[in-house]
């Protein structure tokens, strides 16, 4: 497997993904990048150097249709940074809100992207609708089950699939999301809105897509 770079900007709202980042970094030929992009003057130079040798890039963090963010929502990849080209020609797994729109906007390929992924109370209150779900009423305990399920899915995928096979990774991701949906419906009826959490997991993989 060629070199994998996993980008995980330091941000307290995505810390739930740290077990995923750590599991990825255990892999062969993986370079992790988890700096505070507001506190490292050399982060762009170091990131460009890492990406120049990468075959596969995994991004775990925040995003929207035109930007992948670093720490505290400072842009990391977008038009103004003039560095989206660093991602071209790489195999991409972009786990961020509206990353699929980002992929399409910049005409990236061999890429797996996602839709809206609400994981905090701010997301569910202010982030807009998730299809027809009423997510504004979700509680911290609901979101904890949702984020735990995301971590479980990632860990299972990493156990059974190499990160350089993006298409298979996406297929396994869908399968293991369904496993988590069943788990939520059976074993997490104690949280206030377990059915909504199960629906959120469904839309997590429905909005995911692989771009050839």
Question: What contacts 24+ positions apart, CB below 8 Å, involve 127-130?
Answer: 127/97, 130/200, 130/203
Where do the structural domains in the chain lie, given as residue ranges?
Answer: 4-211
Residue 69 pLDDT grade (very low, low, confident, very high; cuts 50, 70, 90): very high
pLDDT at 68: 98
70: pLDDT strictly greater than 90: yes
Contacts of 155 (CB under 8 A, 6+ apart): 19, 20, 23
Q: Is the pLDDT of residue 109 over 90?
A: yes
Sign of CA dihedral 195, 199, 19, 155: positive
What do you get for the CA distance between the two ends of the chain, in Å? Answer: 19
Cα gap 52→1, rounded to integer Å: 16
Q: How far is CA 176 from the centre of its chain?
A: 15
CA atoms within 13 A on the CB side of 112: 24
| pLDDT value, residue 127 | 81
Q: The pTM is what?
A: 0.97
pLDDT (tens digit, 9 = 90+) per residue, 113-130?
Answer: 999 999 999 999 988 889
pLDDT of 89 higher than 80: yes
Over 43-109, what HEC string results?
A: HHHHHHHHHHCCCEEEEECCECCCCEECHHHCEEECCCCCCHHHHCCCEEEEECCCHHHHHHHCCCC
Residue 41 pLDDT more than 90?
Answer: no
Tokens found for residue 120: 């905090």
């Amino acid at each position: 497997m060629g070199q994998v770079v996993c980008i995980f900007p330091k941000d307290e709202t995505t810390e739930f993904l740290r077990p995923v980042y750590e599991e990825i970094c255990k892999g062969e030929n993986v370079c992790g990048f988890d700096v505070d992009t507001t506190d490292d003057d050399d982060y762009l130079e170091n990131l460009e150097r890492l990406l120049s040798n990468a075959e596969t890039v995994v991004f775990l963090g925040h995003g929207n249709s035109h930007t992948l963010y670093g720490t505290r929502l400072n842009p990391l990849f977008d038009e103004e940074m003039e560095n989206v080209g660093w991602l071209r020609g790489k195999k991409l797994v972009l786990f961020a809100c509206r990353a699929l729109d980002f992929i399409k906007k910049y005409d990236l390929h061999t890429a797996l992207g996602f839709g809206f992924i609400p994981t905090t109370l701010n997301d569910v209150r202010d982030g807009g609708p998730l299809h027809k779900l009423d997510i504004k009423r979700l509680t911290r305990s609901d979101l904890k089950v949702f984020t735990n399920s995301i971590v479980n899915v990632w860990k299972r995928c990493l156990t059974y699939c190499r990160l350089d096979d993006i298409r298979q990774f996406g297929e396994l991701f869908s399968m293991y999301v369904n496993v988590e949906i069943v788990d939520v419906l059976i074993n997490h009826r104690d949280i206030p809105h377990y059915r909504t959490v199960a629906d959120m997991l469904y839309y997590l993989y429905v909005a995911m897509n692989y771009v050839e």
